[in-house]
Amino acid sequence: MRKPPKQAALLGALMLTLGQWSAPSYGQHSDALELYQASLAATCANCHGTAGHGVQHGGMPLINNMRSDQMLTILLEYKTGARSGTIMPQLCKGYTDEQLAVIAQQLGGKLR
Amino acid sequence: MSTIANRRQFIIQSIAGLSLFSGGLTSVKASIRKAEIVVIGGGYGGATAAKYLRLFSRNAARVTLIEPNTSFISCPLSNLVISQSCKLSQLTISYANLSNRHGINVIQDSVTSIDPDSKRIFLHSGQVLAYDKLIVSPGVSLLMNSIQGLADANQAGVTLQAWKAGSETLALQKQLHSMRNGGTFAISIPEAPYRCPPAPYERASLVAEYLKHHKPKSKVLILDANQDITSKGALFKKAWATNYPGLIEYLPNHNVVAVDAKTKRITLEVDDDIQADVLNILPAMSAGEIAVKTGLANSNGRWVNVNFLNFESTAQKDIHVLGDSIQVAYAMPKSGHMANQQAKVAAAAIVAELNDWEINPSPVLANTCYSFTSAREAIHVASVHQYDAHEQTFKPVPGAGGLSPEPSALEGSYGWGWAHNIWADCLA
Q: How far apart, in whole angstroms, are the C-alpha atoms of residue B4 and residue B128? A: 10
B-chain CB neighbours of A24 within 8 Å are 358, 360-362
The kind and range of the H/E element at B152 are: helix B150-155
| B282 secondary structure, DSSP code | -
Tens digits of residue pLDDT in B298-349? 999 999 999 999 999 999 999 999 999 999 999 999 999 999 999 999 999 9
Domain boundaries, chain A: 31-54+61-112
Do the beta carbons of residue B230 and residue B192 sit within 8 Å? yes
CATH 3.50.50.60 fits B145-283, yes or no: yes
Closest Cβ opposite residue A59 in set B396, B400, B420: B420
CB contact under 8 A, A47 and B384: no
B-chain CB neighbours of A58 within 8 Å are 416-417, 420-421, 424
CB neighbours of residue A26 within 10 Å = 20
Q: Is the dihedral of CA B190, B332, B330, B250 positive or negative?
A: negative
- Answer whether A55 touches B (CB < 8 Å): yes
Query: How far is A112 from chain B, CA to nearest CA, in Å?
Result: 15
Per-residue confidence (pLDDT) for residue A29, from 0 to 100 = 75
Q: Which residue on chain B is closest to A95 by alpha carbon?
A: B384
Which one is the CATH code of A31-54+61-112: 1.10.760.10, 1.20.1730.10, 1.10.10.60, 2.40.170.20? 1.10.760.10
B-chain CB neighbours of A38 within 8 Å are 20-21, 55-56, 348
Q: Which residue on chain A is closest to B381 by alpha carbon?
A: A87
CB contact under 8 A, A60 and B411: no
Do the beta carbons of residue B60 and residue B32 sit within 8 Å? yes
Whether B145-283 and B2-141+286-361 are alike in CATH topology: the answer is: yes
Per-residue confidence (pLDDT) for residue B81, from 0 to 100 = 98
Of B52 and B23, more confident:
B52
Whether pTM > 0.90 for this model: the answer is: yes
Q: Are strands B92-94 and B312-313 parallel, antiparallel or unpaired?
A: unpaired
Per-residue confidence (pLDDT) for residue A3, from 0 to 100 = 47
Task: Give me the interface pTM, i.e. the ipTM.
Answer: 0.92
> Which of B117, B92, B114 lies closest to B40, judged by CA?
B114
Domain B2-141+286-361: homologous superfamily in CATH: FAD/NAD(P)-binding domain (3.50.50.60)
**Has residue B42 got a pLDDT over 50?**
yes
Q: How far apart, in whole angstroms, are the C-alpha atoms of residue B359 and residue A31? A: 12
Give the contacts of B232 (CB within 8 A, at least 6 positions apart).
B198, B201, B371, B379, B381, B403
Give the contacts of B388 (CB within 8 A, at least 6 positions apart).
B394, B395
Q: Which residue on chain B is closest to A22 by alpha carbon?
A: B360
Domain boundaries, chain B: 2-141+286-361, 145-283
Per residue, what are the HEC states of B170-231?
A: HHHHHHHHHCCCCCEEEEEECCCCCCCCCHHHHHHHHHHHHHHHHCCCCEEEEEECCCCCCC
Q: Where are the beta strands (DSSP E) in B70-127?
A: 71-73, 92-94, 105-107, 111-115, 120-123
CB contact under 8 A, B420 and A99: no
B-chain CB neighbours of A80 within 8 Å are none
CB contact under 8 A, A93 and B401: yes
Do the beta carbons of residue B309 and residue B361 sit within 8 Å? yes
Tens digits of residue pLDDT in A26-49? 765 789 999 999 999 999 999 999
Interface test with B, best of A21, A29, A50, A98 (most B CBs within 10 A): A50
Q: What is the mean pLDDT of chain B?
A: 94
Residue ranges in chain A modelled with pLDDT below 70: 1-25, 27-28, 110-112
A-B Cβ pairs (cutoff 8 Å, strict): 151
Helices A97-107 & A30-41 angle (0-180, nearest 10): 90
